[in-house]
Structure 1
Amino acid sequence: MEVRTGGRRGFFITFTVLLAIWAAVLLTLAIAVIPDGYWYSYFVVDYSVGFVRRGLAGELLGLFGPAHYFGGLAVLRWIPTGLFVLGLAAVAWSVAVKTGRSQRRWLLALLIPVLPFGLAFGLFSARTDLVGGAALAAFAVVLTRVSTTRATVITSAVYGLALGVLTLIHEGTPFLFGLGVLAALTVLAGRLDVRAFWSSVVLALGPAILVALAVAAFGKQKISPQLCQLVQHGPMNHPLAGKPSIGQLLSGFHYYVDYHDWYCRAFLPLFDLSFVEGVRFVGSIGFVGLAGSTVYGIVTLAVSMLSISHVAGVPVRRFTTALRGRPLALVIGLVMILPVFASGVDWVRWWVIIAFDLGIVFLLYAGRQPEVDEAPTRRTLTVFAVGAILLAVLPIGIIPGFGAPVPM
């Protein structure tokens, strides 16, 4: 059964207004309630002590000068979030406007912010690897616009250079988004022959992997005292250190600690871990925590894919069939993210990024399928409204994992 045009127009207007209000509330919470000190820590280390991982992020902070140290951190904290949201917007624009216009396309665009890897993830998981997510979204969108093998290869080369630079900001970037790159080239650039496909893969991922290996091989380690000296003293809001009640937290409770002392005590020990030590740290979480994170993460992935499938009217099975068109590429993408699981405790976060890798490609793939131009049924609109509200009220993608200690 279909809904009358007037009723549908009211539905879209109402939901768009509610979505804008929801986004404003989340942004207000991120600015006024959630402390930014942890996100600052991704921009503190620079190359003044030699070649270290994530040093390029600290060089960006150096552009602000010592007198504007904390002001610079406040600005830089929002760059990953801003770029990530722009990446999501580019995908929404490509699906809803650039490749055609229909009500299902607009539903997909409205769905994107509330998905587990949507706006809440960008606001409340504001780590520097989000920039890699923005780059992947842009890469995937461009792949839907180019029409020749030459243009695809050139696009892959440009993306590969950008990803290599981003790896100096966060060394896990190519491993987190390699699956998305391979999925995008497999599904969105299906016209490529074998040689052109693997050439594009090498150009897109090769530079970043080489940079990551260089960081692992030549990056200085166990230099905590020198790194600690890079951090300025200043107040940082750290509510959990004040042991507040739930009511105090919800009311915007503030508790200040010295940022230099906190960073050197709580963050540097984690930064200074080698890969082997990181593996041991992950193992210390225990089976229950890791298993719980795995189950939760798989559910998050399933919710993401099924939500896109329902709104677009495109079966997930068709998308996975397209992915299996190059099985070796799919295996490589999955293997690439294993070191991240092995050395990082945020297992739910890694699953959310897998959902992002595949979800972005699925959204753009669905935008090229005939079903997306069919009018949605009343049931589709009802399920969309209920599901989207639940995803908005319960942002399941912002939980990093279970069992990991909070840096105190």
Structure 2
Amino acid sequence: MPSTAVTTGGRRGFFITFTVLLAVWAAVLLTIALTLIPDGYWYSYFVIDYRTGFIRRGLAGEILGLFGRQHYFGGLIVLRWVPTVVFALGLAAVAWSVAVRSGRSQRRGLLALLIPVLPFGFAFALFSARTDLLGGAALIGFALALTRVTTTRATVISSAIYGLVLAVLSLIHEASPFLFGLGSLAALTVLADRLDTKAFRASVVLALGPALLVAAALAAFGRRKVSPQLCHVVQHGMMNHPLAGKPTVGQLLSGFHYYVDYHDWFCRAFLPLFDMTFTEGVRFVASIGVIALAGSTVYGVVTLVISMLAIGHVSGVPVRRFVTILRARPLAMLIGAVMILPVFGTGVDWVRWWVIIAFDLGLVFLLYTRDQPEVDEPPARRTLIVFAVGAILLAVIPIGIIPGFGAPVPI
């Protein structure tokens, strides 16, 4: 009976071919991001500072202030790419950890090639370039640290460092602890399974406590309804915003440009959303409608399932084994799930929240596979075929970049 294993020469050719295709794909996406996608929306995360008092996301604007008023838009261009680059480097570090540092095998190499095309991979970093990507990068660093440390003391120290970083990032994007709480708890549960109950609780408090205190301070003391003051701090300047010109699909594909004043756009399209209270945010989400929210939920759950099954199939490690470990600390997982509910309640990007859940769990699952015996077994030919077809589909149809259904586009 012929073997289903792949020969060494066939394996090498497969990896070289797919690596080249992956590089071409990444270059095409980067070209699209640089030439066709306007950056104005991403700028909006960096223009609010503390000149009007203590306010959410104010630290991001203070960072922009370091560039000086004369380099306002140049600084925005630089800062727009910081979350994308940092998150992409984090994904590369995960790939390196899985495929190189923990040992070499065919399946490990496949996992490294899979990571960029996952729903939370390279396309997500490019086309969802919000500042919460910085929190994702911090979670990557924390999870990688947990794979390296070997003592309880080192784990607690790592948790404390991560907690301080996440607290600072919460001043840039206030939802950071809620978006990545599930991932933090999953990482401590799976990657630091040596911890006893006391050490686990201490690590959880140190990892999430500081950021939650920052979020509480923003809720209690952060200024609200300051749109007029915030509007005055934003500079005037022309911004390419093709959608405002109501172009046809053909015009968009041909590189259609339409310029608007950034100050006017920001004050009209972004500030009303930023100025919402918690109650107004809940009402805004409800106004999207049950059908759109249900569609986003189904789409998001499918995205999560595809991510986990793809990792499980390529690595050979059953998803159910990973889930069993998570269920060993049911209260922690429940807390992580509950933490993200306020984000769903006040933000309309429901698909985006599901993609981040897929990232939270998928990151930990990827690092968990490093030490499982299946990942060192050679893949069957069928595994390579399924991988190639699935990876190409995920690359051509980047399902993770859709934020949600029914939400109004800020024009």
| Counterpart check, 1:317 vs 2:330 | no
| Counterpart check, 1:217 vs 2:220 | yes
Cα separation, 1, equivalents of 2:205 and 2:278: 25
Aligned to 2:74: 71
Amino acid corresponding to residue 140 of structure 2 in structure 1:
A
Q: Which of 57, 60, 71 is residue 60 of structure 2 equivalent to? A: 57
Instruction: Name the % identity.
Output: 79
Aligned to 1:293: 296
What are the superposed Cα offsets for residues 196-234 of structure 1, whole Å, 9 maximum, x if unpaired? 000000000000000000011100000000000010000
Aligned to 1:80: 83
Structure 2 counterparts to residues 272-283 of structure 1, below 5 A: 272-283=275-286
| Counterpart check, 1:46 vs 2:52 | no
Structure 1 residue 5: deviation in Å? Answer: 0.7
Structure 1 residue 367: deviation in Å? Answer: 1.1
Structure 1 residue 287: deviation in Å? Answer: 0.3
Q: Which of 389, 394, 397 is residue 392 of structure 2 equivalent to? A: 389
What are the superposed Cα offsets for residues 212-259 of structure 1, whole Å, 9 maximum, x if unpaired? 000111000000000000100000111011010111111111100000
Aligned to 2:28: 25
Structure 2 counterparts to residues 96-111 of structure 1, below 5 A: 96-111=99-114
Cα separation, 1, equivalents of 2:126 and 2:30: 7
Cα separation, 2, equivalents of 1:235 and 1:57: 21
What secondary structure, in the 3-state scheme, does the structure 2 residue paired with 1:51 have? coil
Amino acid corresponding to residue 128 of structure 1 in structure 2:
T
| Counterpart check, 1:89 vs 2:92 | yes
Amino acid corresponding to residue 284 of structure 2 in structure 1:
F
Aligned to 1:175: 178
| Counterpart check, 1:345 vs 2:376 | no
Aligned to 2:194: 191
| Counterpart check, 1:375 vs 2:378 | yes
Amino acid corresponding to residue 138 of structure 1 in structure 2:
G
Cα separation, 1, equivalents of 2:253 and 2:116: 23
| Counterpart check, 1:228 vs 2:231 | yes
Q: Which of 133, 137, 158 is residue 155 of structure 1 equivalent to? A: 158
Amino acid corresponding to residue 245 of structure 1 in structure 2:
T
What secondary structure, in the 3-state scheme, does the structure 1 residue paired with 2:44 have? helix
Cα separation, 1, equivalents of 2:254 and 2:29: 15
Cα separation, 1, equivalents of 2:6 and 2:319: 26
Aligned to 1:3: 6
What secondary structure, in the 3-state scheme, does the structure 1 residue paired with 2:406 have? coil
Cα separation, 1, equivalents of 2:254 and 2:25: 18
Task: Extract unaligned runs of 5+ from structure 2.
Answer: none
What secondary structure, in the 3-state scheme, does the structure 2 residue paired with 1:310 have? helix
What secondary structure, in the 3-state scheme, does the structure 2 residue paired with 1:35 have? coil
Structure 1 residue 48: deviation in Å? Answer: 0.8
Amino acid corresponding to residue 19 of structure 2 in structure 1:
T
Aligned to 1:264: 267
Cα separation, 2, equivalents of 1:302 and 1:246: 32
| Counterpart check, 1:405 vs 2:369 | no
Cα separation, 2, equivalents of 1:391 and 1:226: 44
What are the superposed Cα offsets for residues 127-183 of structure 1, whole Å, 9 maximum, x if unpaired? 000000000011101100100000000000000000000000000000000000000
Kindly report structure 1 stretches of 4+ aligned residues shifted beyond 3 Å. none
Aligned to 1:332: 335
Cα separation, 2, equivalents of 1:315 and 1:4: 25
Structure 1 residue 3: deviation in Å? Answer: 1.4
Cα separation, 2, equivalents of 1:118 and 1:65: 33
Aligned to 1:306: 309
Taking structure 1 as the reference length, the TM-score comes to: 1.00
| Counterpart check, 1:165 vs 2:157 | no
Amino acid corresponding to residue 13 of structure 1 in structure 2:
I
Taking structure 2 as the reference length, the TM-score comes to: 0.99
What secondary structure, in the 3-state scheme, does the structure 2 residue paired with 1:42 have? coil
Structure 1 residue 90: deviation in Å? Answer: 1.1
Task: Extract unaligned runs of 5+ from structure 1.
Answer: none
| Counterpart check, 1:34 vs 2:33 | no
Cα separation, 2, equivalents of 1:252 and 1:144: 45
Paired residues in the alignment total 408
Amino acid corresponding to residue 220 of structure 1 in structure 2:
R
Amino acid corresponding to residue 52 of structure 1 in structure 2:
I
Structure 1 residue 58: deviation in Å? Answer: 0.1
| Counterpart check, 1:237 vs 2:230 | no
Cα separation, 1, equivalents of 2:14 and 2:251: 37
Cα separation, 1, equivalents of 2:254 and 2:373: 48
What are the superposed Cα offsets for residues 264-322 of structure 1, whole Å, 9 maximum, x if unpaired? 00000000001110000000000000000000000000000000000000010000001
